[in-house]
């Protein structure tokens, strides 16, 4: 029998704010005493929020990134993306966008055109994943991952997960990553139970987006936007759902390097941050 991972603490979202005029965000980390969860830098939960029909797409105008990756998962509603490398696409419900900013990219994110015109419920997660120093200045990469291309793994009675990145029970996710990372989109019916095996040594978290679950028979997450941090030792995670639940599971091998960050730039030194700002102002990251 493998050892269970221990729940180190349960944390609620620390802040609620708007990003642009289209993304009402609750930040799970960095917040409180959770500065980061290497290799994960930030986790924002957007919505669920009802938007009325509009003739103008809401969202965020063009802005830069360097030194990390953004992962956008759509649950309800859609997001249109354009960037300075010429990539564009729509992230529909179930789809994932895995964008490697690396040496630098400028992009914009707005509600999808059809969603804007019709209105409806909007629910999205955005995760920031750090890059090791050796890859921070690599070439920009864009992965538009369709829902149909994300494999599903049954976990137990009334529970399954979609494997977005990494591997579970021999099933590999489609996302290409620079370091070992697992990102699982987990669904549980009321009364459902599921068992996961996560690697020893990984930083790991169980994020309840909405619903109610008990983790390893010891800790209850209830309502919305709650996160259980897990120990690096042990492998097994058991979940029991007291209500229909939507859960995001994260685990990753830590990047044991210095982190320097300022707004949309994450590098290893303050000098590299200053250079990133200068390069953006000089137009070296391009324009949308």
Whether residue 261 lies inside any domain: the answer is no
Whether residue 61 lies inside any domain: the answer is yes
Tokens, residue 124? 């999205």
Whether residue 212 lies inside any domain: the answer is yes
Whether residue 55 lies inside any domain: the answer is yes
Whether residue 285 lies inside any domain: the answer is no
**CA triple 148-141-185, angle to 5 deg:** 35
pLDDT tens by residue, 71-90? 999 999 999 999 999 999 99
Residues 6 or more apart in contact with residue 282 via CB below 8 angstroms: none
Number of domains the chain is built from: 1
- Separation between Cα atoms, residue 23 and residue 13, nearest integer Å: 15
- State the residue range of the domain holding 234: 7-252
Whether residue 213 lies inside any domain: the answer is yes
CATH of the domain at 112: 2.60.120.10
CB count within 10 Å of CB 30 equals 17
**pLDDT under 70: residue ranges of the chain:** 1, 32-33, 35-36
- Separation between Cα atoms, residue 36 and residue 24, nearest integer Å: 21
Tokens, residue 182? 């697992």
Whether residue 37 lies inside any domain: the answer is yes
Whether residue 1 lies inside any domain: the answer is no
pLDDT at 15: 78
pLDDT tens by residue, 84-116? 999 999 999 999 999 999 999 999 999 999 999
């Amino acid at each position: 029998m493998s050892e269970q991972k221990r729940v180190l603490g349960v944390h609620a979202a620390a802040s609620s704010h708007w990003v642009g005029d289209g993304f009402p965000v609750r930040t799970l980390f960095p917040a409180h005493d959770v500065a980061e969860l290497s290799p994960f830098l930030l986790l924002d939960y957007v919505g669920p929020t009802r938007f009325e029909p509009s003739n103008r797409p809401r969202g965020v105008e063009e802005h830069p990134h360097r030194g990390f990756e953004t992962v956008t998962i759509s649950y309800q509603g859609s997001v249109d993306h354009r960037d300075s490398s010429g990539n564009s696409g729509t992230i529909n419900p179930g789809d994932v966008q895995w964008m490697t900013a690396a040496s630098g990219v400028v992009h914009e994110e707005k509600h999808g055109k059809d969603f804007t015109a019709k209105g409806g419920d909007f629910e999205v997660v955005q995760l920031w994943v750090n890059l090791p120093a050796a890859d921070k200045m690599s070439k920009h990469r864009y992965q538009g991952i369709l829902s149909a291309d994300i494999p599903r793994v049954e976990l137990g009675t009334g529970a399954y997960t979609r494997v977005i990145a990494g591997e579970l029970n021999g099933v590999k996710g489609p996302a290409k990553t620079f370091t070992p990372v697992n990102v699982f989109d987990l669904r549980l019916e009321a009364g459902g139970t599921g068992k996961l095996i996560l690697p020893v040594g990984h930083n790991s978290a169980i994020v309840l987006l909405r619903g109610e679950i008990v983790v390893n028979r010891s800790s209850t997450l209830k309502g919305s936007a709650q996160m259980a941090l897990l120990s690096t030792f042990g492998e097994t995670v058991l979940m029991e759902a007291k209500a229909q639940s939507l859960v995001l599971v994260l685990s990753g091998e830590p990047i044991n390097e210095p982190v320097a960050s300022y707004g949309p730039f994450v590098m290893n030194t303050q000098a590299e941050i200053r250079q990133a700002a200068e390069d953006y102002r000089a137009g070296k990251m391009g324009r949308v």
